[in-house]
Structure 1
């Protein structure tokens, strides 16, 4: 971990970002007190896909009479009330 005063961070911001990019942590002090830390990002597991992005498999409900949901709807529409 690198601990630097704010004035040094301002003068060398690009170099500090390079350190963070290499996996280092940089703590920035103002008047001797820590005010910020630059840490490398935590890389999520790229193979883990959120549930809302996973492909879904449609339900295949088999009725005893063999009719599909679409066929039932068509029969109901044609039959009227």
Structure 2
């Protein structure tokens, strides 16, 4: 485990993240007291995909008349145009 002060961590953040990526741990001190520890993620945690990154199946609504939402909007706008003219 590597232990370093906050100012050292700020100066070498990229290198410290490289160490963590290689499987090592880094302890960060502020005024001589440990305030954080960077550890590699567990295999289970890295395998999980957050819900906002999962693929979604688009919603497909089939109307009885076969028209899409876009077609209905165009039709409604054309009717509004004819009504105002």
TM-score of the aligned structures, taking structure 2 as reference length: 0.52
Superposed displacement of residue 8, structure 1: 0.2
Matched, 1:39 2:32: no
Matched, 1:22 2:32: no
For 2:24 and 2:30, how far apart are their aligned partners in 1?
20
For 1:24 and 1:41, how far apart are their aligned partners in 2?
11
**SS in structure 2 of the partner of residue 41 of structure 1:** coil
Q: Structure 1: any 5+ residue segments left out of the alignment?
A: 47-81
* Larger proportion of helix: 2
TM alignment of 1:60-79, pairs within 5 A: none
TM-score of the aligned structures, taking structure 1 as reference length: 0.54
Deviation above 6 Å: which 4+ runs of structure 1? none
For 1:3 and 1:35, how far apart are their aligned partners in 2?
11
Matched, 1:3 2:3: yes
For 2:24 and 2:17, how far apart are their aligned partners in 1?
9
Q: Structure 2: any 5+ residue segments left out of the alignment?
A: 48-85
Tell me how many residue pairs correspond in the alignment: 46
For 2:16 and 2:35, how far apart are their aligned partners in 1?
15
Superposed displacement of residue 44, structure 1: 1.5
For 2:5 and 2:21, how far apart are their aligned partners in 1?
19
